[in-house]
Amino acid sequence: MPFDFEFAKSILPHLLEASVITIAATFVSFAIALVIGLFLALGLRSRFALVRRGIWGATQFIRSTPLLVQLYFLFFVLPEIGITMPPFLTGVIGLGAHYSCYIAEVYRAGLESVPKGQWEAAVALNYGRSRAMTEIILPQAIPPMIPVLANYMITMFKDTPVMASITVIELMQTANIIASERFLYVEPMTLVGLIFLALSLVASFGVRLIEGRLVR
Amino acid sequence: MSLIYEARWVLLEGALNTIIITLAASLLAGAMAFSAGLARLSSIAAVRCIALVYIEVFRGVALLVQLFWMFFVLPFFDIHLEPITTAILAIGLCNGAYGAEIVRSAISAVPRGQREAACALNYTRLQTLWRIVVPQAIPMMLPPFGNLMIELLKVTALVSLITVHDLSFQALTLQQTTMQTAAPFTAVLVGYFLIALVITGIFRLAERRAGVGLDRGGLR
């Protein structure tokens, strides 16, 4: 069965429209992951051992269990305890929470990569804790984190199709609907693959550019 | 809890399938990682190019898309595979592409002097690779390969979407037949976590054994 270019051309606009949802889902879940990840990273540096251990255990658990089942959990269990959300919101919260556990680790590594002497110098120069953090430590800790975070964003982008399983109509699900309506799978599935490939190649090229900038 | 006990055979069947897919896909991924990783370092441009295309394509496309492509599109080309075979192929090929980068960077991290010494001792290229370079690169590969295998275990959940009866599939079945939600999904999450713990443990042991006799105290 050959590739029908006419059919492919006719469905391409629909798929491109749907990729906007996929991209939106990526950005929203990335933002959620950045925020939750920050809280987790702060929790991992807490003075209370119980908080540290609890958060460490929870992040390990989330990191070693599948996103798909976590999404099912949110999708099916939350409504039972009275929390109903549109599937898109459930999806981005699930994806964001999953990756926040990785991103917390990025924040931690970034902060630890700043030499201890920087803190000591800040103390010696009579900087307060928060000023030392915002003016001395963070400006050195953040740039090396950026390419790592960007790579996680690309990984998250490639995990958005999992949301199709909780009825979010993103790129993958749109292709699925088109395909199953006419029972023509070759063109929609191949196009989805090509769109993913194109977007992630462009994105990783962008990351490499940023990386080059930062190294200089 | 009683629900989980009653459904133990269903869950165990799912766990068994998850483990089978994880192991088979890991073997395929390992083989692909080594071939593509070494091919990336080949002196022949065409070989390097093929490896690069494989790595970029399988890393650039979402695994679920690859899985659906193989499941739905291959039959149109008269290639009919069992769902579980499709699952193993897709997961193995995709993770092999990630693994190839691990192999490549570990191999290139072996100091040049080792190759030069082997050359001076009249080792052939193949002997240098298998006797000198790879044994030193493997301890460096183990920690990232351990992480990759956990990632691989996690993505096996996607095979439930192409009708394979793995742990995730059984969770959904239990949810539909018993109308309970929290219990089956929690049980299955714990199941994955336990399998992940076993994988982590095995890699810890392997790392300790591979580290024996190596002059690299600060490796980790």
The full 3-state SS of chain A, as one line of letters, equals: CCCCHHHHHHHHHHHHHHHHHHHHHHHHHHHHHHHHHHHHHHHHCCCCHHHHHHHHHHHHHHHCCCHHHHHHHHHHHHHHCCCCCCHHHHHHHHHHHHHHHHHHHHHHHHHHCCCHHHHHHHHHCCCCHHHHHHHHHHHHHHHHHHHHHHHHHHHHHHHHHHHHHHCCCCHHHHHHHHHHHHCCCHHHHHHHHHHHHHHHHHHHHHHHHHHHHHHC
Other Cβ atoms within 10 Å of B121 Cβ, number: 10
Taking the Cβ of residue A190 and every Cβ of chain B, the question of whether any pair is shorter than 8 Å is answered with yes
ipTM given for this complex? 0.90
How high is the mean pLDDT of chain B?
A: 92
Residue of B nearest to A159 (CA): B62
CB proximity B189 to A under 8 Å: yes
From chain A, pick out residues whose CB is under 8 angstroms from the CB of B158.
Answer: 66, 68, 162
How many CB contacts within 8 angstroms connect chain A with chain B?
A: 110
CB of B198 within 8 Å of a chain A CB? The answer is no
Q: B192 — contact with chain A (CB < 8 Å)?
A: yes
How far out from the chain centre does Cα B202 lie? 14
Mean pLDDT of the A40-60 span? 94
Closest residue on chain B to A180 (Cα):
B72
pLDDT(B220) > 50 = no
Residue range A192-213: average pLDDT? 93
* Token representation of residue B111: 């100091």
| Domains delineated in chain B | 2-211 (1.10.3720.10)
Residue A62 has a pLDDT of 97
Q: Is the pLDDT of residue B211 over 80?
A: no
Q: For residue range B44-97, list pLDDT tens digits in order.
A: 999 999 999 999 999 999 999 999 999 999 999 999 999 999 999 999 999 999
Name the minimum distance, in Å, from the CA of A62 to any CA of chain B. 9
Q: Does B157 touch chain A (CB under 8 A)?
A: yes
pLDDT for res B65 = 96
B151 touches chain A (CB under 8 A): no
Q: With an 8 Å Cβ cutoff, are A73 and B155 in contact?
A: no
Cα separation, B214 vs A109, in Å, equals 27
By the 8 A CB rule, do B183 and B3 touch? yes
Q: What's the whole-number mean pLDDT along residues A195-206?
A: 95
Alpha-carbon distance of B21 to A120, in angstroms, equals 52
Whether B189 and A197 lie within 8 Å, measured CB to CB: no
Mean pLDDT of chain A: 93
Q: HSE-up of B187 (CA within 13 Å, CB side)?
A: 26
Q: Are A108 and A41 in contact (CB under 8 A)?
A: yes
pLDDT tens digits, residue range A19-37?
999 999 999 999 999 999 9
Report pLDDT for B206: 93
Cβ proximity of A158 and B62 under 8 Å: yes
Q: How far is A41 from chain B (nearest CA, A)?
A: 20
Say if A164 is an interface residue toward chain B (CB within 8 Å). Answer: yes
Cβ–Cβ of B175/A193 closer than 8 Å? no
What is the four-CA torsion angle of B74, B79, B82, B84, rounded to 10 degrees?
Answer: -50
- Return the HEC string of B153-177: HHHHHHHHHHCCCCHHHHHHHHHHH
The CATH number of the structural domain formed by A5-215 is 1.10.3720.10
CA distance to partner chain A, nearest, from residue B20 (Å): 16
- What is the distance between the alpha carbons of residues A81 and A67, in angstroms, rounded to a whole number? 21
Convert the pLDDT of each residue in B149-197 to its tens digit.
Answer: 999 999 999 999 999 999 999 999 999 998 888 999 999 999 999 999 9
- Three-state SS at B217: coil
**B182 lies within 8 A of chain A by CB:** yes
| Closest in A72, A172, A201 to B171, CB measured | A72
User: Which of B65, B73, B192 is opposite residue A161, by nearest beta carbon?
Assistant: B65
Between CA B142 and CA A2 the distance in angstroms is: 43
Find chain A residues with C-beta within 8 A of B77's C-beta: 1
Q: CA-nearest residue of chain A to B147?
A: A64
SS3 B88: helix
Q: Report pLDDT for A216.
A: 60
User: CB atoms < 10 A from the CB of B154, how many?
Assistant: 22
How many whole angstroms separate alpha carbon B160 and alpha carbon B218? 42
Write out chain B residues lying below 8 Å of A162, CB-based. 64, 158
Q: Is A68 on the interface with B (CB under 8 A)?
A: yes
- For chain A, what is the largest distance between any 2 Cα atoms, rounded to a whole number of angstroms? 74
Work out the pLDDT band at A212, boundaries 50, 70, 90. confident
| Residues of chain B found within 8 Å of residue A75, distances taken between Cβ atoms | none
CB distance from B123 to chain A under 8 Å? no
Q: How many residues would you count in chain A? A: 216
Instruction: Name which of A66, A172, A189 is nearest B73 (Cβ-Cβ).
Output: A189
Answer yes or no: do A66 and B66 touch at CB < 8 A: no
**C-beta atoms of B60 and A159 within 8 A:** no
Return the pLDDT at A1: 59
Taking CA–CA distances from B62, the nearest residue in chain A reads: A158
The pLDDT of residue B213: 66
Provide the token pair at A207: 């990351």
- In chain A, whose CA is at the least distance from the CA of B151? A64
Per residue in B95-125, pLDDT tens? 999 999 999 999 999 999 999 999 999 999 8
Residues B199 and B187: their CA atoms lie apart, in Å, by: 19
Cα–Cα distance, A190 to A98 (Å, whole number): 28
- Domain residue spans in chain A? 5-215
What percent of chain B has pLDDT above 90? 85
DSSP, collapsed to helix, strand or coil, labels residue B5 as helix
